[in-house]
Amino acid sequence: MPILGGNGLSATKSDNAFVEFERVQKSYDGENLVVKDLNLSMPKGEFLTMLGPSGSGKTTCLMMLAGFETATHGEIRLDGVSINNIPPHKRGIGMVFQNYALFPHMTVAENLSFPLEVRKIGKSERDEKVMRALGMVQMQDFAGRRPAQLSGGQQQRIALARALVFEPELVLMDEPLGALDKQLRETLQFEITNLAHELGITVVYVTHDQTEALTMSDRVAVFDDGRIQQLAPPDELYEAPQNSFVAQFIGENNTLEGVVQEIRGDSCIVKLDNGDIIDAQPVNVSQVGERTKVSIRPERVEFDKTRLSPDAHTLKAEVLEFIYMGDIFRTRLRVAGNDNFIIKTRNAPDQVRLTPGSQIEIGWLARDCRALDA
Q: Note the residues at the interface with other proteins (CB under 8 A).
A: 66-68, 87-95, 97-99, 101, 103-105, 114-115, 118-119, 162-163, 166, 172
Closest contact distance (angstroms) between CB of 343 and other proteins is 44
Compute the least distance from the CB of residue 123 to other proteins, in Å.
16
- How many beta carbons lie within 10 A of that of residue 17, not counting itself? 20
**What whole-number distance in Å separates Cα of residue 66 and Cα of residue 97?**
11
Q: Kindly tell me which of 120 and 346 has the beta carbon lying closer to other proteins.
A: 120
Q: Give least dist CB 81 to other proteins, A.
A: 17
Instruction: Please give the single-letter amino acid code of residue 314.
Output: T
Q: Which is nearer to other proteins, 105 or 182 (CB)?
A: 105
Q: Name the residue nearer to other proteins (CB basis): 101 or 259.
A: 101
124 contact partners, CB below 8 Å, separation of at least 6: none
Q: How far is the CB of 80 from other proteins (least distance, A)?
A: 21
CB closer to other proteins out of 41 and 113: 113
As measured in angstroms, the least distance from the Cβ of 25 to other proteins is 22
Q: Using the 8-state DSSP alphabet, how is residue 113 labeled?
A: H
Cite the DSSP H helix spans in 137-249. Answer: 152-165, 182-199, 210-216, 234-239, 244-249
- 132 in Cβ contact with 139 (< 8 Å): no
Residues 330/344, Cβ–Cβ less than 8 Å: yes
Strand partners, 262: 269
Residue 304: alpha-carbon gap to chain centroid: 33
How far apart are CB 273 and other proteins at their closest, in Å? 47
Q: Which of 218, 220, 216 is nearest to 228 (CA)?
A: 220
The residue among 96 and 228 lying less far from other proteins, judged by its C-beta, is 96
What CA–CA distance (Å, rounded) separates 280 from 370?
A: 6
Nearest to 204 by CA among 58, 75, 102: 58
Cβ-based nearer residue to other proteins, 73 or 89:
89
* Smaller CB separation from other proteins, 132 or 367: 132
280 SS3 class = strand
Phi/psi at 13 (nearest 5 deg)? Answer: -70, 120
Indicate the residue among 66 and 143 with the shorter CB distance to other proteins: 66
Could you tell me the smallest distance in angstroms from the CB atom of residue 308 to other proteins?
A: 54
Instruction: Single out the residue of 29, 373, 47 nearest to residue 194, CA to CA.
Output: 47
C-alpha span between 79 and 363 (Å, rounded)? 49
CB of 101 to other proteins, least distance (A): 4
DSSP state of 150: S
For residue 138, the minimal CB distance to other proteins (Å) is 22
Q: Which is nearer to other proteins, 110 or 186 (CB)?
A: 110
8 Å CB contact between 26 and 57: yes
